[in-house]
Amino acid sequence: MHTIFELQQLIEEAIKKVEYPAHPSKLYEPISYIMRLGGKRIRPVLLLLSSEFFNNDATKAIEAALAIETFHNFTLIHDDIMDNAPLRRGQDTVHIKWGVNNAILSGDVMMVEANKHLTNLDSGVLKNALHCFNTTAQGVCEGQQLDMEFEQRNDVSIVEYVNMIRLKTAVLVGGAMKLGAIVGGASEEDANHLYDFGENFGIAFQLQDDILDVYGDPVKFGKQVGGDIISNKQTFLLLKLKELAQGDDLALLEAQYPNTDYPAKIESITKLYNSYKIRELAVTEMKRSLEIAFTALEKVSIEAVKKNELIALAESLLDREH
Amino acid sequence: MHTIFELQQLIEEAIKKVEYPAHPSKLYEPISYIMRLGGKRIRPVLLLLSSEFFNNDATKAIEAALAIETFHNFTLIHDDIMDNAPLRRGQDTVHIKWGVNNAILSGDVMMVEANKHLTNLDSGVLKNALHCFNTTAQGVCEGQQLDMEFEQRNDVSIVEYVNMIRLKTAVLVGGAMKLGAIVGGASEEDANHLYDFGENFGIAFQLQDDILDVYGDPVKFGKQVGGDIISNKQTFLLLKLKELAQGDDLALLEAQYPNTDYPAKIESITKLYNSYKIRELAVTEMKRSLEIAFTALEKVSIEAVKKNELIALAESLLDREH
């Protein structure tokens, strides 16, 4: 089996080798642009790892890994349009650089490119792989829709929120792992266990992200600490606080929403989080998802030692605050 | 074999039977909405017809027909955003009714729905069908990109224009027919001949559309006659006139572009078309494409009598002006 680092190299090399048509250049340049902005390539690496649990030759799964990474980057282009986001990984977003119409269309053709990668898989696994991919892609679209709708609502429940991050983020992690398993030749049962691992790990990862926004080490987090607080983003923490805060505290919270003195706003809301032990509640929720994830992983019928690389990767991803 | 009318019924019934998830309703309602706006269902009908050339059971190709029609309607949603179009078949466009972000996302999930239909095809034809579908979808995106780019240019050549309408419109007609042939069990050669028929027929159809915009019977055309002239749309007719017109005539043409007295503008430019015999040149070009199409159809190795329904359909589609 390859190490995580080797798998990352493998996927980076594969991405570099993909050739898009030269014309129309404005249609294809954004694809190369976003695919080469970098990132940790977590989804394709998890896919390859999952595949290697059942088949040592990770190269057999590379087209599936490219499909997942291409699809993921397509969603980034379209999400950035919808979120009106100017920057992605510190660079101009595609719609800023090429215009909205161009970004819509380049995204569309990326979806086709993702499907082209999938079509290169062995005929024997193709149908299952497509089924998994389509279900995954559909879930991701549903998640983005819910995310947009939640921004217009102020009565979102914790259950609804967790379902939204499940669809928007975790389904793709689960889908990538299931797809890898399918391509590697896993039984349906094992593929589903790996899906469950990925989905629940994905939820834990997103909850951790919500926690780090407030409690992360500013140097190591890589984003502005308190960014979610500033933008009144309805994270697990905020929703939990809204659920628990009473009387004066609730009034204090609501009074902070329009506050443009950001350091004061961050301090004030963090104080509320602390007094209601929101961090601890979020950690408990995160650990609950992790437990489901690791229980599912235990059920995968491969030697325990093979799982170590995945466990190490999962732990390192959750250990980002230190 | 079924008649065109029966195939239209078949596809309408199939479209009605497709069930999209109930939630998130704003994601899926636009899909039902646009799929039920109607239209002639030309692409799926051609697909089913093409399939029946090789296999009497058209129901085997219905999922492919649904894939093509779903994909086509997805492109309409996204094209309408890009073109800033308020109406589609006399009704509000999706982005007007649900907003741009929603329209982007509903379009995205329609692409997934199209792929889900394809995945329901028999494993034996799946890989070829996907390959055909992806190539087609990619071509359509390229066509839309060129169409957008051409709007910003005033040096588009006739060759470029015909290539653009080939990609934007004709590739999907060709792709639908090839897909039908593949699902029906045609040889690769026959499938390619049907592709060639469809693509060249599609080009002829679009050229006919350009001609009808100026010379169509206002009652039967179904669109505003002169609409392309009013909007300075670079059709075959306008590009040909720009190529041929000299001196005063060219100055007269250019002076008309900003004219907001539309009846006068239409009259003036139509007069120029007449004096340079642009209609005749467009008809010649259209007939050239038709000849290529029918030569390709002749090569398809099925009984000549089986082709009659297709020939009748093609002729009726080109006969819209009378």
The model's pLDDT over A124-170, given as tens digits with 9 standing for 90+, comes to 999 999 999 999 999 999 999 999 999 999 999 999 999 999 999 99
Which pLDDT tens digit goes with each residue over A251-296?
999 999 999 999 999 999 999 999 999 999 999 999 999 999 999 9
The H helix count followed by the E strand count for chain A is 17, 2
Are A197 and A125 within one domain? Answer: no
Are the C-beta atoms of B150 and B83 separated by less than 8 Å?
no
* Domain identity same for A145 and A191: no
Q: Is A165 domain-assigned?
A: no
Tally of structural domains, chain B: 2
Give yes or no: residues B201 and B280 share one domain: yes
- B211/B117 same-domain check: no
Tell whether the model's pLDDT for residue B222 goes beyond 80.
no
* Confidence tier at B317 by pLDDT (50, 70, 90): confident
Whether A124 contacts B95, CB under 8 Å:
no
For residues A5 and A144, state if they share a domain.
Answer: yes
What pLDDT, on a 0 to 100 scale, did the predictor assign at position A221?
A: 64
Does pLDDT of B322 surpass 70? Answer: no
Spell out the residues 6+ positions from residue B76 whose beta carbon is closer than 8 angstroms to its own: B34, B88
Residues B220 and B303 in one domain: yes
pLDDT over 80 at B312, yes or no: yes
Does the distance separating the beta carbons of B102 and A145 come in below 8 Å?
Answer: yes
Cβ contact A115–B102 (<8 Å): no
**CA-to-CA separations, A213 to A253, A301, B85, B118, B315, in angstroms, rounded:** 17, 37, 41, 42, 65
- Identify whether residues B216 and B114 lie together within a single domain: no
Indicate whether B103 and B210 sit together in one domain: no
Q: Which of B25, B78, B128, B134 would best serve as a mutation to test chain A binding (most A beta carbons within 10 A)?
A: B134
pLDDT of residue B221: 64
**Nearest Cα residue to A213 out of A222, A202, A204, A200:** A222
Residue A259 lies in a domain: yes
pLDDT digits (tens, 9 = 90+) for B254-289: 999 999 999 999 999 999 999 999 999 999 999 999
- Beta carbons of A123 and B119 less than 8 Å apart: no
Please give the share of chain B, as a percent, with pLDDT higher than 90: 92
CB within 8 A of B271, min separation 6: which ones? none
Average pLDDT for residues B212-241, to the nearest whole number?
Answer: 88
pLDDT band of B219, cuts 50, 70, 90: confident
Digit-coded pLDDT (tens) for B119-147: 999 999 999 999 999 999 999 999 999 99
Whether residue B167 lies inside any domain: the answer is no
Per-residue CA distances from A261 to A130, A230, A267, A268, A270 (Å): 50, 9, 10, 11, 14
Q: Work out the average pLDDT over B17-33.
A: 97
User: Quick one: tokens of B185?
Assistant: 């069990």
Is residue A228 in a domain?
yes
How much is the CA Rg of chain B, to the nearest whole Å? 20
> Do the domain assignments include residue A161?
no
**Residue B294 pLDDT exceeds 80:** yes
> In this structure, are residues A225 and A214 in contact, taking their beta carbons and an 8 Å threshold?
yes
Does residue B61 surpass a pLDDT of 90? yes
Domain that holds residue B254: 187-322
Q: Of the candidates A127, A149, A171, which is a domain's last residue?
A: A149
Q: Looking at the structure, tell me whether residues A192 and A127 fall in a common domain.
A: no
Q: What is the pLDDT of residue A322?
A: 40
Q: Distance, in angstroms, between B148 CA and closest chain A CA?
A: 9
Among chain B residues, CA nearest to A123:
B127
Q: Which residue of A has its CA nearest to B129?
A: A119
User: Tens of pLDDT along B156-182?
Assistant: 999 999 999 999 999 999 999 999 999
> Is the link from the previous residue into A86 a cis peptide, with omega within 30 of 0?
no
Long-range contacts of A6-11 (CB under 8 A, 24+ apart): A7/A45, A7/A48, A7/A49, A7/A58, A8/A40, A8/A41, A8/A45, A10/A48, A10/A58, A10/A59, A10/A62, A11/A41, A11/A44, A11/A45, A11/A48, A11/A62, A11/A65, A11/A66, A11/A69
Are A194 and A73 part of one and the same domain? no
Give, rounded to a whole angstrom, the gap between the first and last alpha carbons of chain B.
28
| pLDDT band with cut points at 50, 70 and 90 for residue B11 | very high
Query: Quick one: pLDDT band at residue B208, thresholds 50, 70, 90?
Result: very high
- A 51-110 residues with CB below 8 A of B? 78, 81-82, 101-102, 104-105, 107-109
> Does ipTM come in above 0.85?
yes
The answer to whether B9 contacts chain A (CB < 8 Å) is no
Domain membership of residue A191 (yes or no) is yes
- Identify whether the C-beta of residue B317 lies closer than 8 Å to the C-beta of residue B197: no
d(CA A53, CA A56): 7
Q: What is the mean pLDDT of residues A178-182?
A: 98
Q: Is residue B215 domain-resident? A: yes
Place of tokens 């982005």: B95
**Are residues A312 and A197 both part of a single domain?**
yes
The residue out of B139, B156, B177 marking a domain boundary is: B139
Domain shared by B191 and B122, yes or no: no
Of the three residues A125, A149, A173, the one that is the final residue of a domain is A149
Q: CA nearest A310: which of A42, A11, A13, A14?
A: A42
pLDDT band at A195 (very low <50, low <70, confident <90, very high): very high
Residue B89 lies in a domain: yes
